[in-house]
C-alpha cells in the first residue's frame, strides 16, 4: 500500500470514529437531559408557585460566572481550530477557574459551608430542602466532572495532543460544558425567580 493510500485510509478511519464519537456524546447528553428534566419537573410538582428565600445576588453572580465561562470555552475551541495553542490553553484555564468559582459559590455559600451561621436551608427542610439540594447537588457534580474534563484536555493540549485538523477532545469538552451551562440557565429561574417566597417553618 502506498503512503498516500495509507494516509487516506487513516483519514477515513478518523472521520468514521469522529462521527461515532459525536453520536455517542449526543446520546449521552440526551439521557442526561431526561434526568435534569425530572429534577426540573419535581421542583414544580413539590414547590408549586412557591420557592424558598434564596440570596438573589448570589444566584445572579453564579449565573453570570457560568455564562462567562461558556464564552471562554468557546474561545478555547475556536483557538485550537485555528492553531492558536497559547490562546487555547489560556482560555481553557480561565474557563476552569470560572467553573471552580461557580462550584465554590454553590457549595460554600448556597449550601452555607462558608457561612458562620450555616446554611439557610438544610436538606432536611422538607420539599424545599430536598429539591434545592437535589437540583444544585446534581448540577454541581456535573460541574465538577466538567472541571476534571477541562484539566485533562488542558494537559493534553499542553503536550501538543491537538491540532486544527484533530481536536475532538476539545470539542467534546466544550459541548459538555455548554450543556452543563444550559441546564443552569433553566435551573436558575426555577430556583431563584419563579414563585412567591414561602416560609420554611
Q: Which domains does the chain have, with CATH numbers?
A: 32-197 (1.20.120.80)
**Among 182, 177, 185, CA closest to 25:** 177
| Cα gap 128→54, rounded to integer Å | 11
Q: Which long-range contacts (CB under 8 A, 24 or more apart) does 31-36 make?
A: 32/142, 32/179, 35/138, 36/138, 36/139, 36/183, 36/186, 36/187
- pLDDT tens digits along 21-71: 999 999 999 999 999 999 999 999 999 999 999 999 999 999 999 999 999
For residue 5, what pLDDT is reported? 46
Q: Compute how many other C-beta atoms are within 10 angstroms of the C-beta atom of residue 126.
A: 14
| Cα gap 80→161, rounded to integer Å | 11
Is 201 buried (19+), middle (13-18) or exposed (0-12) by CB count in 10 A? exposed
| pLDDT band (50, 70, 90) for residue 147 | very high
Instruction: Identify the three-state secondary structure at position 197.
Output: strand
Q: Residue 175 above 60 pLDDT?
A: yes
Residue 18 corresponds to which cell in the numbers above?
469522529
Torsional sign, CA 139, 25, 71, 38: negative
| pLDDT band (50, 70, 90) for residue 154 | very high
Amino acid at each position: 500500500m502506498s503512503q498516500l493510500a495509507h494516509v487516506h485510509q487513516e483519514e477515513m478511519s478518523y472521520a468514521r470514529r469522529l462521527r461515532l464519537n459525536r453520536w455517542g456524546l449526543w446520546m449521552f447528553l440526551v439521557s442526561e437531559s431526561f434526568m435534569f428534566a425530572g429534577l426540573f419537573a419535581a421542583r414544580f410538582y413539590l414547590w408549586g408557585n412557591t420557592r424558598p428565600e434564596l440570596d438573589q445576588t448570589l444566584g445572579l453572580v453564579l449565573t453570570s460566572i457560568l455564562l462567562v465561562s461558556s464564552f471562554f470555552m468557546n474561545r478555547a475551541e475556536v483557538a485550537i481550530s485555528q492553531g492558536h495553542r497559547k490562546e487555547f490553553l489560556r482560555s481553557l484555564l480561565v474557563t476552569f477557574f470560572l467553573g471552580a468559582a461557580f462550584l465554590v459559590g454553590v457549595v460554600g455559600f448556597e449550601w452555607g459551608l462558608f457561612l458562620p451561621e450555616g446554611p439557610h436551608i438544610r436538606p432536611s427542610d422538607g420539599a424545599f430542602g430536598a429539591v434545592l439540594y437535589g437540583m444544585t447537588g446534581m448540577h454541581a457534580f456535573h460541574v465538577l466532572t466538567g472541571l476534571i474534563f477541562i484539566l485533562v484536555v488542558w494537559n493534553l493540549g499542553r503536550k501538543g495532543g491537538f491540532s486544527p485538523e484533530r481536536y475532538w477532545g476539545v470539542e467534546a469538552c466544550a459541548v459538555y460544558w455548554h450543556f452543563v451551562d444550559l441546564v443552569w440557565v433553566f435551573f436558575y429561574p426555577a430556583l431563584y425567580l419563579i414563585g412567591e417566597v414561602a416560609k420554611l417553618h
